Structure 1
Amino acid sequence: MAGVDEVRVVVAHEERVTLRVGDVFLKVDSDQARIDVEVEALALAPVPTPRVLWRQPPVLAISAVPGTALGVLGEPSAASSAAWAAAGAAIRTLHEAPLPPWPGRSLDSIVAELDSECEQLVATGVLPADLVTRNREVAEAALRPWTPVFTHGDLQITHIFVEGDEVTGIIDWSEAARGDALWDLATLTLGHEERLDDVLAGYGTAVDVDVIRAWWSLRSLTAVRWLAEHGFDPAKPGCEIDVLKARM
């Protein structure tokens, strides 16, 4: 990394920090189990990913991927419909891969977290009770048995990079696990509902869109407090609170 004249903070909160130094990302994580998952998932995933350069706990160094992110939550995406479709095709490739050797979250644990978050959102006045109640009702459609697939687990719009109409890299694999395919599709399209048809065209198989909408509600309900407590703003236009309001 000789000659690097800039160090950029990509993400920083009490659990982890990601720095960009030239063409290298340095991830410092308080939970080495997350880094273990990321390293193994990068080796197993049959889609374009960063290269692991070195690891010296608590730091993981990975290469940058070419291209630009599909977009940013809360802002219109400049990526083409074909690029979004390519993202859907890449996700399908991941979901058809052999399952990773570690399990994902159980349905019971997801329900418990959701109910706890809903209770606290109302009790602390973070969100109106009717907004929480309505979205908890919508979220119920996601709370059903699913056939597990290899999921990325945190497939936010900023985690898929494209160049033109091609996917060049998918980053941030620390939450990869066996899970519901529709969770990944919902996470990618959260706040970008207008792009769902493009993603599904690339994904290439019929899905239950009501379950995707349910995951939008569930992800937003369980994220609002964490985001606010870690320096992010879920009330920005187009972000999690707007996603919840759209279900009313």
Structure 2
Amino acid sequence: MHRNSYCLAALAAAAVPGLVPVRTAPIATPAEDLDVAGVVGEDGRRLMVHSPGSTAAGIRLERDLRVTDALTGTPLRGVIPPVLGFVKLPEGGRAAVTEAPAGRPLMLEDLQRSEELARSLGQVLARVHTVPRYAAEAAGVESFTPEALHAEHRQRVRTATAGGHLPAAVAQRWEGLLEDAELWDFTPQFVHGDLSEESLFRSGDRVSAVRDWSSSKVADPAGDLAWLVASLDPERFDQLYAAYREELPTSTHPRLMARAQALGEFAVAEWLAHGLETKDEAIIADARGMIADLDADLAQLARDEAERTFEQMRSRDQA
């Protein structure tokens, strides 16, 4: 069942002793069937209350809370809003109250404008990817081998190709990436798994909070970078990635960035598969538009390469 912000404030008061709500506001969340509201207490405390609207949402919330609890013992604790209390729901399950993230949601345009903020996000991502595997597995997150992840990408791309959804140049490029054995020879690490503008907060020029850990797993660290490499200007992403590498205690995989770029492209095939599975024509059209854009980019790269080759040949002939 769904609840408005006033009902959520009442749940927060029941979960946190002494809390007297004086102001509420609904908060957007990428999770389906999860009602979230911000609550300001009489004493000035700022909190967030999370109430699942279905059994599936309740399972995701519990997974999120287990990971959150595990991360409070890692260097990420400074960007993990702590859990303050719970309250049982009449229909089953429970709502949870956490401290509100400091600052405001971090938008891509914020990263584009600020090198310091981009570097801060790079440092936080490095800390995510260095969470010890035992801590992640103690929280019950799933672990995936490189072979299993590679097989998922291959199956998705081949399904799109067999369905006639990919232009020849895109299909050839993606198959070439999948055949590059070195690209997929990596060590799985703890990852957030669903980074977005809704899951990140900023305060000034630093990342102040990371939330929504229900999709976290031990998998490919390139997955957390794919969204950013596809969305940011190259110069700004390079600054983020430089800070990421500086924060890591060991060197990165030599093909990490190439794999992040590949995963950003493969995400289009995943989006298309989702549209086809749900028979959502808007999603299908959106995915096909992105595939057409990639096809056009590849055609332009081919033309540029042909022009460079021609100029080199002409220079040699003139010499």
Matched, 1:199 2:215: no
> Are the counterparts in 2 of residues 148 and 179 from structure 1 also a CA contact under 8 Å?
yes
123-132 vs 92-101, greater mean Cα deviation: 123-132
1:210 corresponds to which of 258, 262, 273: 258
C-alpha distance in structure 2 between counterparts of 1:114 and 1:155, whole Å: 19
> Are the counterparts in 2 of residues 70 and 162 from structure 1 also a CA contact under 8 Å?
yes
Matched, 1:121 2:160: yes
C-alpha distance in structure 1 between counterparts of 2:104 and 2:191, whole Å: 22
> Are the counterparts in 2 of residues 136 and 218 from structure 1 also a CA contact under 8 Å?
no
Structure of higher RCO (CA pairs closer than 8 Å, 6+ residues apart): 1
Relative distance call for 1:198 and 1:83 in structure 2 (3 A) is same
Match of 1:17 in 2: 33
> Are the counterparts in 2 of residues 50 and 63 from structure 1 also a CA contact under 8 Å?
yes
C-alpha distance in structure 1 between counterparts of 2:99 and 2:292, whole Å: 34
- Is the radius of gyration larger for structure 1 or structure 2? 2
C-alpha distance in structure 2 between counterparts of 1:58 and 1:224, whole Å: 35
RMSD value, Cα? 3.6
Aligned ranges for residues 9-158 of structure 1 at < 5 Å?
10-11=29-30, 16-23=32-39, 24-26=48-50, 28=52, 30=56, 33-45=59-71, 46-47=75-76, 48-53=79-84, 54=86, 56=88, 57=93, 59-72=95-108, 77-99=111-133, 100-101=136-137, 102-141=141-180, 144-158=184-198
Q: Identity of aligned pairs, percent?
A: 22
TM-score by length of 2: 0.61
165-174 vs 224-233, greater mean Cα deviation: 224-233
C-alpha distance in structure 2 between counterparts of 1:11 and 1:139, whole Å: 30
- The count of aligned residue pairs is 242
57-66 vs 166-175, greater mean Cα deviation: 57-66
> Are the counterparts in 1 of residues 49 and 95 from structure 2 also a CA contact under 8 Å?
no
197-206 vs 114-123, greater mean Cα deviation: 114-123
After superposition, the C-alpha distances for 1:80-138 in whole angstroms (9 at most, x for unaligned) are 11101101111112222322114422334323332332233345455445424423433
C-alpha distance in structure 1 between counterparts of 2:106 and 2:272, whole Å: 23
Relative distance call for 1:41 and 1:10 in structure 2 (3 A) is closer
Output the amino acid matched with 2:267. R
After superposition, the C-alpha distances for 1:127-176 in whole angstroms (9 at most, x for unaligned) are 44542442343355586232232221222344222122111001111121
Which SS does the other structure have where 1:26 is aligned? Answer: strand
- Structure 1, gaps ≥5 residues long: none
TM-score by length of 1: 0.76
Match of 2:206 in 1: 166
